[in-house]
């Protein structure tokens, strides 16, 4: 497709022709989405209905689980429809809406993990001041700032992309991707490029600085503190570090794949890598935090006991 055109749809070109295996792929994908929704929703419910969990740390976790539902819903319904479809197209409004959902999901995730690293720093390095410096009100302000900053920041990016004239409609991905759509532009995109560089810098540096500073101070306390302090640091920081590293690796896979030629990589591997941060993170976080935090485990069992046992009787 050449020339300046007004696009009404995009073609997603990364889907493989798997024939009758599409039904197996659909079933597996639907099952994964169901698990993500059930597990994250149940943990949100547990945190919301139990007053003993109305603490800053669990408020941040609740924000994290809400974001997993948000990001998954931005991907999976569309993915399930595309798996069953013979023609992999998506309308332009739906495409840009998906871009907005997935990119704000990624930004909220990174910023939320940054705020949680600061919370862990206060709990380990300033335990006597923690209840004063990190109240529920402070946590609510942090969470609100994370979501508003992420939504407003990418709203500007999306509005700049909407003004571009596109000379193609084929997106080499399983879902709508901001960078790949912008590459289709045949109009002056200098403003977009400048804001894109500034945006990427802000997206990386704003969350990364508090993460690095927090963990530098945590490590300093661990090396100079007692064995009990080190054990506390390990137990409270392990889920956060695993979540942070997993999400960072997933984002790196996606950035490398979208910006460099990966035609030599097997198609199935490329598909799995492109879905990694949108699939593994929503599954990993509830498992990691649910297993690691004994308070959540205990209350979760109580909730299940009250709902399942009466029915069994």
**In this predicted model, what pLDDT tens digit does every residue of 167-186 receive, in sequence order?**
888 888 889 988 888 888 88
pLDDT band per the 50, 70, 90 thresholds, residue 205: confident
1 domain-assigned: no
User: Domain span at residue 62?
Assistant: 9-312
* Distance (Å, whole) CA 121 – CA 93: 42
pLDDT of 313: 32
DSSP 206-250: HHHHHHHHHHHHHHHHHHHS-HHHHHHHHHHHHHHHHHHHHHHHH
What pLDDT, on the 0 to 100 scale, is given for residue 3? 43
Quick: pLDDT tens for 15-64. Answer: 888 788 889 999 999 999 999 999 999 889 888 888 888 899 999 999 99
Which residues have C-beta within 8 Å of that of residue 119, sequence separation ≥ 6?
56, 57, 60, 134, 139
Long-range contacts of 176-185 (CB under 8 A, 24+ apart): 176/10, 176/12, 176/90, 176/94, 176/95, 176/96, 176/98, 176/99, 176/102, 177/99, 177/258, 178/99, 178/103, 179/258, 179/259, 180/258, 181/10, 181/95, 181/96, 181/99
Q: How confident is the model at residue 99 (pLDDT cuts 50, 70, 90)?
A: very high
15 domain residue, yes or no: yes
Residue 248 included in any domain: yes
Domain of residue 82, CATH code:
1.20.1070.10
Residue 3 lies inside a defined structural domain of this protein: no
- Chain-centroid distance of CA 87 in Å reads 28
Q: How confident is the model at residue 291 (pLDDT cuts 50, 70, 90)?
A: low
> What's the total number of domains in the chain?
1
Does residue 163 lie in a domain region? Answer: yes
As a whole-number percent, the residues of the chain with pLDDT over 70 amount to 91
The verdict on residue 2 lying in a domain is no
Name which residue leads in pLDDT, 191 or 102. 102
């Amino acid at each position: 497709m050449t020339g300046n055109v007004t696009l009404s749809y995009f073609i997603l070109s990364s889907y493989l022709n798997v024939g009758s295996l599409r039904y197996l792929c659909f079933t597996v994908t639907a099952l994964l989405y169901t698990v993500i929704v059930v597990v994250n929703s149940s943990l949100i419910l547990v945190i919301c209905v139990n007053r003993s969990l109305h603490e800053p740390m669990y408020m941040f976790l609740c924000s994290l689980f809400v974001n997993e539902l948000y990001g998954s819903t931005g991907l999976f319904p569309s993915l399930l429809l595309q798996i069953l479809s013979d023609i992999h197209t998506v309308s332009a409004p739906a495409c840009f809406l998906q871009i907005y959902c997935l990119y704000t999901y990624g930004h909220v995730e990174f910023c939320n993990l940054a705020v949680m690293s600061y919370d862990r720093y206060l709990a380990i390095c300033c335990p006597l001041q923690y209840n004063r410096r990190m109240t529920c009100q402070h946590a609510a302000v942090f969470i609100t700032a994370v979501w508003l900053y992420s939504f407003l920041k990418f709203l500007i990016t999306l509005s700049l992309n909407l003004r571009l004239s596109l000379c193609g409609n084929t997106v080499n991905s399983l879902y709508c991707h901001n960078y790949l759509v912008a590459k289709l532009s045949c109009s002056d995109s200098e403003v977009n490029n400048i804001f894109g560089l500034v945006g990427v810098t802000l997206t990386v540096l704003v969350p990364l600085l508090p993460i690095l500073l927090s963990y530098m101070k945590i490590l300093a306390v661990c090396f100079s503190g007692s064995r009990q302090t080190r054990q506390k640091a390990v137990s409270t920081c392990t889920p956060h570090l695993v979540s942070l590293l997993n999400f960072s690796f997933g984002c790196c896979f996606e950035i490398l794949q979208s910006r460099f030629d990966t035609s030599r990589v097997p198609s199935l591997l490329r598909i799995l890598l492109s879905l990694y941060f949108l699939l593994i993170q929503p599954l990993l976080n509830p498992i990691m935090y649910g297993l690691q935090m004994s308070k959540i485990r205990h209350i979760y069992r109580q909730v299940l006991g009250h709902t399942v046992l009466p029915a069994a009787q």
